[in-house]
Structure 1
Amino acid sequence: MINIVYRLKSPKFFEESIDEVELDGVIVRPTHLSICQADQRYYQGSRPANILDEKLPMALIHEAIGEVVFDSEGNFKSGDMVVMIPNTPFGEDVYSPNYSYSSKFRGSGFDGFTSDLVNLPEDRVVKIPDDFNLNVSAFIELISVAYQGISKFTQMAITPKDNLGVWGDGNLGFITALLLKELFPKSKVLVFGKHQENLNLFSFADEIYRIHDVDDDVVVDHAFECVGSSASQSAIDQIIDIINPQGTINLFGVSEYPVPINTRMVLEKGLTIQGNSRSDRVDFVGVVETLKQNPQLFEHLEKLITNICEINSLGDLKDAFDKDYISKFGKTILKWNI
């Protein structure tokens, strides 16, 4: 079957390529996609030159849902709506697929979802209910990243979970705080951020703080760092200062540069630092089930959507990336009509 793939050839320049799609596995037609900061780094050319040379040309976008066109095994019906899992194992080992050396990630290790059709193995798609908000469902992948980190935290934390602190008032901080409030209803969720206009959207949180205006008596039992870049250093420093002994520091923020950490106080307090990246099928299934059981979450998650762009041409795709780049907060959703 003939397929057209829309690849980033060089920063800010997309091109069409004709590929062949084999009629095996599950064939999905993308319908709703969401731009991630990682996509923007490729589009803007802000990754190191050697990385761009190695990766491009490549189709972007790893957050997407779509409509099943064909399933060789017959487990999905034509027209079923599914969320597509970008993390793809190539082989088996003792590690979780999202941390395994044998895995590749769409929109990073190989083509993402900007194409007419996508061929995926059966275990790389998860059906979503017909009544789901499709614009929110487009970024289930991002929600699944927070979900897998919280799942690991649940297995690791040994001290009380009375006060859970989230650092970062961006998209991931919002989602992490929202899931914590839903999954740990008896815990207080405290959010620490820099931008008051963003913090005002965290209406579900028990307390919100500007990072430079935190009372001396504020403490947390466990912390979730969702800041990233060079700013993660000050966030981690503040976490180490106010976290209780034997707490866990769960890192989500990505930085292109090494980040110093006050290991003296990490040792003195007996803290555990855990890194979190990406997710796998079990996390997608968990998110879909959580949203199914708690449909009120869609109302909160919808607040993250700042742009909805109809994509009918490569010019529309470029315009959507440009519009997303100047947005200070939230998600840009692509209604994929190409």
Structure 2
Amino acid sequence: MLSTVYRLVAPRSFEPVVVSQDTTGSVIVRPTCLSICNADQRYYQGTRSKEVLDKKLPMALIHEGIGRVVSDDTGTFAPGDNVVMLPNAPVETDDFIAENYLRTSRFCGSGFDGFMQEAMVLPPERVVLLPKGVNQEVAAFTELVSVATHAISRFDAIAHGRRNRIGVWGDGNMGFIVSLLLHLRFPDAEIVVFGRNATKLYDFTFAHETHLVDAVDDVLLVDHAFECAGGEGSAPAIEQIIDLISPEGTVSLLGVSENNVPINTRMVLEKGLRLFGSSRSGREDFEQTVKLYREHPEVLDYLAALVYSVNEARQISDLSAAFEADIRKPMGKTVIRWNM
């Protein structure tokens, strides 16, 4: 099958290229809604190192997206089914290491072409059926929600059983999603959110408490914590977490930083803390996320608050326009209605 792939060939420069793909034993999915991630922006703006850009470009961006099934050689899906596409493509299995941590796994939009294509050719295990009537603009960033699902599942397996107060550091997209999913997963726990922007914190209506990070003198300690700040905010967030967490608490690290982050290991040792990192997600996390959509449809209403803008993509210039608009957004997700 011939299909057009829209690749980033240099920072801020997209070009189409026609490729031939073998569709035997695969599902052909026409992308319908895509969502821009900060990782996509780092490639688009050229803020990754020259060595990384030289190694990975040209490459089609975006790993968050949904589509409509065109055909399925395996008979698993029906034409017209709305599905979420899984960006992680493992080539092996391991009894102890999850697919998203295997160094051999391929990941769309990170060294391999992402979803900015006329059609995606995927094995059926890399596709998950969405509920009928799902809000497509929200479903577009299901991958991001699945990352939160993955981190919370790991936390549930690692952390001790006292979960009266769970702190979340970060008032951005990941902090919002993690806080919301924690509220649903542990309804008896107090979810305490720490952020830098009072306006953003107003949207965390499901949280028990919200606090600005520079006004925490009277805040009670939390039993466990999630660091969702990322970037330059990672270091101060981790420092404050170590101060405000009870002994033997568990710290889930989710924020991505381009720089090394110093950690007060003296207090980590003194309090007996457990720190663990989570990145990306696997098929089971996507299935759990879609199950959440079905069982708690209200979660989609909450997540709709994160849709900052929806952009139509019909020609090459629309792609750059969407990415430029995403740079200027104060918060939320930029969704692209894909009509390329």
TM-score in same-fold range (> 0.5) = yes
Counterpart contact for 1:92–1:102, Cα < 8 Å: no
Counterpart contact for 1:164–1:220, Cα < 8 Å: yes
Counterpart contact for 2:8–2:58, Cα < 8 Å: yes
Aligned position for 2:34:
33
Aligned position for 1:125:
127
Identity of aligned residues (%): 50
The Cα of 1:159 is off from its aligned counterpart by 3.9
| Structure 1 residue 52 corresponds to structure 2 residue 48 | no
Alpha-carbon deviations, 1:106-154, whole Å to 9, x = none? 0002000001000111110000011211000000000000000000000
Aligned position for 1:142:
144
The residue type paired with residue 238 of structure 2 is I
Aligned position for 2:211:
209
Counterpart contact for 1:291–1:297, Cα < 8 Å: yes
In the alignment, the residues of structure 2 paired with residue 96 and residue 78 of structure 1 have an alpha-carbon distance, to the nearest angstrom, of 31
Aligned position for 1:23:
23
Aligned position for 2:94:
93
Alpha-carbon deviations, 1:28-56, whole Å to 9, x = none? 00000000000000000000000000000
Aligned position for 2:339:
337
The residue type paired with residue 66 of structure 1 is G
The Cα of 1:228 is off from its aligned counterpart by 0.9
| Structure 1 residue 241 corresponds to structure 2 residue 243 | yes
The Cα of 1:93 is off from its aligned counterpart by 2.8
Q: Give the alignment's TM-score, normalised by structure 1.
A: 0.99
1:50-199 matches, cutoff 5 A = 50-94=51-95, 95-199=97-201
Counterpart contact for 1:159–1:221, Cα < 8 Å: no
Q: Give the alignment's TM-score, normalised by structure 2.
A: 0.98
**2:220 aligned counterpart, secondary structure:** coil
Counterpart contact for 2:131–2:293, Cα < 8 Å: no
Counterpart contact for 2:64–2:143, Cα < 8 Å: yes
Give the count of matched residue pairs. Answer: 338
Q: Which runs of 5+ in 1 are unaligned?
A: none
CA RMSD of aligned residues (A): 0.8
The residue type paired with residue 70 of structure 1 is S
The Cα of 1:271 is off from its aligned counterpart by 0.4
The residue type paired with residue 108 of structure 2 is R
1:322 pairs, out of 316, 319, 324, with 324
Counterpart contact for 1:221–1:243, Cα < 8 Å: yes
In the alignment, the residues of structure 2 paired with residue 247 and residue 26 of structure 1 have an alpha-carbon distance, to the nearest angstrom, of 44
In the alignment, the residues of structure 2 paired with residue 21 and residue 102 of structure 1 have an alpha-carbon distance, to the nearest angstrom, of 22
The Cα of 1:23 is off from its aligned counterpart by 2.0
The residue type paired with residue 312 of structure 1 is R
The residue type paired with residue 75 of structure 2 is G
Counterpart contact for 1:308–1:332, Cα < 8 Å: yes
**1:260 aligned counterpart, secondary structure:** coil
The residue type paired with residue 169 of structure 2 is W
In the alignment, the residues of structure 1 paired with residue 268 and residue 192 of structure 2 have an alpha-carbon distance, to the nearest angstrom, of 21
Aligned position for 1:227:
229
Alpha-carbon deviations, 1:261-304, whole Å to 9, x = none? 00010011110001000000000000000111000111110000
In the alignment, the residues of structure 2 paired with residue 335 and residue 118 of structure 1 have an alpha-carbon distance, to the nearest angstrom, of 16
Counterpart contact for 1:89–1:104, Cα < 8 Å: yes
1:311 pairs, out of 313, 317, 320, with 313
Aligned position for 2:273:
271
The Cα of 1:216 is off from its aligned counterpart by 3.2
Aligned position for 2:253:
251
In the alignment, the residues of structure 2 paired with residue 307 and residue 204 of structure 1 have an alpha-carbon distance, to the nearest angstrom, of 23
Counterpart contact for 1:159–1:247, Cα < 8 Å: no
In the alignment, the residues of structure 2 paired with residue 212 and residue 30 of structure 1 have an alpha-carbon distance, to the nearest angstrom, of 43
Alpha-carbon deviations, 1:49-76, whole Å to 9, x = none? 0000000000000000000111111110
| Structure 1 residue 13 corresponds to structure 2 residue 20 | no
In the alignment, the residues of structure 2 paired with residue 93 and residue 143 of structure 1 have an alpha-carbon distance, to the nearest angstrom, of 24
In the alignment, the residues of structure 2 paired with residue 314 and residue 283 of structure 1 have an alpha-carbon distance, to the nearest angstrom, of 33
Would you identify which runs of 4 or more consecutive aligned residues in structure 1 move more than 3 Å? none
In the alignment, the residues of structure 2 paired with residue 109 and residue 220 of structure 1 have an alpha-carbon distance, to the nearest angstrom, of 39
The residue type paired with residue 282 of structure 1 is E
**1:292 aligned counterpart, secondary structure:** helix
Bigger mean CA deviation after superposition, 278-287 or 198-207: 198-207
The Cα of 1:217 is off from its aligned counterpart by 4.2
Q: Which runs of 5+ in 2 are unaligned?
A: none
The Cα of 1:101 is off from its aligned counterpart by 1.0
Bigger mean CA deviation after superposition, 87-96 or 312-321: 87-96
